[in-house]
Amino acid sequence: MARVIVLDERDNVATAIGDIAPGESVESPSRSVVATETIPFGHKVALVSIADGGDILKYGESIGLARGDIAVGACVHTHNVESQRGRGDRGSAS
């Protein structure tokens, strides 16, 4: 069983605290998923399906948007997450 950290019960990703191999079971406090690909140390694994444009939730907050559909058990990292930090084209917060 792979070890991961889930920081908030609202999170839809868990952070790997060691490399996770495809087919390895990942246990979070609320669910169990099977990794569908290699999840390197420090990367995230999807605990639920996340639709294209959906929020990636870590710390109970959005850390970016899914760039394409992300399946349960898939690696979540810079290749499939669009950061929203510092996006001047998104308008200013009032």
**Per-residue model confidence as pLDDT tens for the chain (94 residues):** 778 999 999 999 999 999 999 999 998 888 899 999 999 999 999 999 999 999 999 999 999 999 999 999 999 999 999 988 766 665 555 4
**In terms of Cα–Cα distance, which of 21, 29, 30, 5 is closest to 73?**
21
pLDDT for the residue 85: 74
**pTM, two decimal places:** 0.87
Place of tokens 């999840």: 39
Cα–Cα distance, 14 to 79 (Å, whole number)? 17
Q: From residue 36, give the alpha-carbon distance in Å to each of 5, 8, 51, 56, 77.
A: 18, 23, 17, 18, 14
pLDDT for res 87: 61
Predicted confidence (pLDDT) per residue in 56-82, tens digit: 999 999 999 999 999 999 999 999 999
Domain boundaries, the chain: 4-86
Please give the Cα distance from 88 to 28 (Å, whole number): 35
Domain 4-86 -> CATH class: mainly beta
pLDDT of the residue at 93:
53
